[in-house]
Amino acid sequence: MSGPAAAAAHRALGLTDSEYDLIVEKMGREPNGVELAVFSLMWSEHCAYKHSKKLLGRLPTEGPHLLMGPGENAGAVSVGHGLAIAFKVESHNHPSAVEPFQGAATGVGGILRDVFAVGARPIAILDSLRFGELTSARPRYLLDGAVAGIGHYGNSIGVPTVGGEVYFEAPYEQNCLVNAMCLGIAREERLIRSAAAGVGNLLVLMGARTGRDGIGGASVLASAELDSSDASKRPSVQIGDPFEEKKLLECCLELLERGTLRSLQDLGAAGLSSSSAEMASKGEVGLDIDVSQVPLREDDMEPFEIMVSESQERMLCVIEPENLGELEEICERWEVRATAIGAVTGSRRLRVLDTRKGTGGEEVVGDMPVEALVDDCPLYDLEPARPDGQIYPAPQRSLDSDERGGALLALLASHNLSSRRPLFEQYDCLVGSRTVRRPQQADAAVLSLEADGARGGIAVSIDGNGRRVACDPYTGTVEAVLECAANLACVGAEPLGLTNCLNFGNPEKPHVAWQLERSVAGMVDALTELGVPVVGGNVSLYNQSGDGPIYPTPVVGMVGAVPDVERVAGAGFTTDGHTVALVCSPSAAISLPGSELAKLLGHELPDGLPEIDVAGTRRVIEAVRDTVREGGLASAHDVAEGGLAVALAESCLAGGIGATISLIEYGLQALFGEGAGRFVVSGLAEAIEALGAHATAIGTVGGEALEIGGRWSWSLEELREASGALALAFP
């Protein structure tokens, strides 16, 4: 392939002219069709992170509990008793915007494979979702399909969905966000890496047959903006089968338990191309793959189609030849297809063979240097430029008056703050019998580990706030990290590690590059202060349509250790007569601009948020965490979206009991302003006093209403009715 035809081919596959020239230089010749297809995916934004890799190198990735960091299928931390928790979050945004049910379902399937690929049994799923306002038909369709897809896959495979978040904002109208997080548990010594090893060892493909569904799916869709041709991209969305994955999961875990495998890798974006090239790169070896041995759903598939197909429920492993019989016997028992499709070589090249093409012998249809595929993709420097003012239009006004009483009910009834019960009731949150706190019972999900007679567990939370990051990418991201840590503190958990998914628009546009750069800087500073490492994650760029970019949305998932699950505090008030207190740093900064109330009032986004005292906020978080661990607090709830008044109402509703609150300040900012590092807690007076100067008593638990300052009163029934608004809007 050369001349105009080659130019048309590489541009159609998303490669620039300079990238194509570099490929020719690395290859020493022009690539053929198979090689060009493989390079186009390996050098795509989704696989190569070519606009974000330099930024990601700034994130802290070392910590005392770290067992497995960035670069593996999932990261892992030690939780004591010889146990490891593996976890990761990834996006499936573009496929979900094209076909929400299968896009979300296969997003769950992919993140599950990432976790059991390192040898951990999946024990929990969380999700972070963003859609447009539910006043229009498209977001309702996307929400309905995505929630159904998540529930279908997780419920079918038997892994509980224990937490998550969902928000509705106009900039996500065309480009929804579907981020899925998974946690798994393993003995530390059972963790396995993906590097191919041992020249002469066999490469075995396990799981479903390979088909044309998903060809160029996640890797291509995630590297381009969405447009009016979305419907035509439906064939690029993978089709999932959770029952096939369940068999594959159990089979892989048994093989790992027996020590049969040398390495294991998930087949995700770019299919065989990325999985094999990455395994070879990490192991500093070569691989030969015979595509004629790959089990197919359609017999007439071309070699390039087999290499780039993203068909689901497939894993790639390396085994010693003498273990092939044992592997085949175990796979047969689990009804999992297993086929030797190649071998490890010392060539440092990825060779694609096809015996179907020859006359009895093998024909080499692709021969590529592994280093060129994985390590030599050009990395681009961003060209950030702060925009001149906000680039997002003011939200549509939906609240006529800022009168305090009406404002609280309007906030509780808003789709961003109302009860998520209509959504999470579609998920099984109890299967597996580890769930200690159900969704909405506490600020973080809590899972029991039950090891060596210990009563310990883990807590996990996933957080993000695109509108706040749009106001101020640096401070908004700091807030997201601190909120995640605060949620863990409410259940007494110490953070061990964090995974992230950076969802942004087109990084080639200066204002988006600025958002991304400032957001990463905020994450670096917040995590450095907290002493929490990043164990891995995902970057999703080009979340943009003709209407403009999404809100910049860094999503963070944090895992923490809980020493005693029986002392975990809930979010709801529990007992008549308990003292209610506001816990915060004296330097805590809150603001009304950029808040949920400001959105309801139709205010434009501010150009900046108040600076956060991160060190002071960390001290408050630690004080709450320590007091919860001591069993002193009956409830602990982070003050987040909607501000203090909303947090108080949520604690009343979660506990089914009212409270009488006396405050010094009753202004809109005091009641509804937002910022990091504030908590509403309740307990005996001496427990509140133990929090010292951080805590200010503001009221008492009791009654059938929330009363604030003797000026406003809302019955629990009024609060409950307002909070149920999402149930009316959900299709």
Active site residues: 46, 92
| CA terminus-to-terminus distance, the chain | 51
Handedness of CA 488, 539, 465, 520 (dihedral sign): positive
d(CA 381, CA 548) in angstroms, rounded, equals: 22
Return the C-alpha torsion angle 185, 189, 191, 195, nearest 10: 180
Residue the block writes with tokens 């189609």:
305
Return the C-alpha torsion angle 570, 727, 177, 304, nearest 10: 120
CB-count burial class (<10 Å; 0-12, 13-18, 19+) for 599: buried
- The total number of residues written for the chain in this structure: 731
Please give the DSSP secondary-structure letter assigned to residue 208: S
Helix (H) or strand (E) holding 76: strand 75-80
Q: For residue 391, what are the CA distances in angstroms to 507, 513, 602? A: 15, 13, 15
* Token representation of residue 389: 């003012």
* Token representation of residue 302: 């071309």
d(CA 146, CA 179) in angstroms, rounded, equals: 11
Q: How is 623-687 classified by DSSP, letter by letter?
A: HHHHHHHTT-EEEEEE--TTHHHHHHHHHHHHHT--EEE--S--SHHHHH-B-SSEEEEEE-HHH
Please give the DSSP secondary-structure letter assigned to residue 384: -
Geometric angle at alpha carbon 332, from 329 and 336, rounded to 5°? 125
d(CA 540, CA 145) in angstroms, rounded, equals: 21
* Token representation of residue 279: 């395994």
Helix (H) or strand (E) holding 307: helix 303-308
d(CA 94, CA 103) in angstroms, rounded, equals: 8
Q: Are the CB atoms for 75 and 87 separated by under 8 Å?
A: yes
* Token representation of residue 552: 């910049």
Q: Are the CB atoms for 97 and 103 separated by under 8 Å?
A: yes
Helix (H) or strand (E) holding 727: helix 725-729
* Token representation of residue 99: 């076909």
Residues paired with residue 161 on neighbouring β-strands, in sequence order: 125
Q: In 136-262, which ranges are E strands?
A: 161-168, 177-187, 202-207
Closest CA to 224 of 516, 505, 552, 9: 505
* Token representation of residue 123: 């024990």
Handedness of CA 304, 306, 307, 310 (dihedral sign): positive
Geometric angle at alpha carbon 234, from 230 and 239, rounded to 5°? 145
Residue the block writes with tokens 């979702």:
129
d(CA 226, CA 290) in angstroms, rounded, equals: 35
Q: How is 636-650 classified by DSSP, letter by letter?
A: EEE--TTHHHHHHHH
Q: For residue 65, what are the CA distances in angstroms to 69, 77, 83, 446, 498? A: 11, 5, 11, 19, 12
Residue 389: CB atoms within 10 A of its CB come to 8
Task: Taking each helix axis as running N to C, give the angle between helix 17-27 and helix 3-12, from 0 to 180 degrees, rounded to the nearest 10.
Answer: 110
Residues paired with residue 315 on neighbouring β-strands, in sequence order: 206, 266
Q: Are the CB atoms for 76 and 68 separated by under 8 Å?
A: yes
Q: Are the CB atoms for 495 and 560 separated by under 8 Å?
A: yes
Helix (H) or strand (E) holding 697: strand 695-701
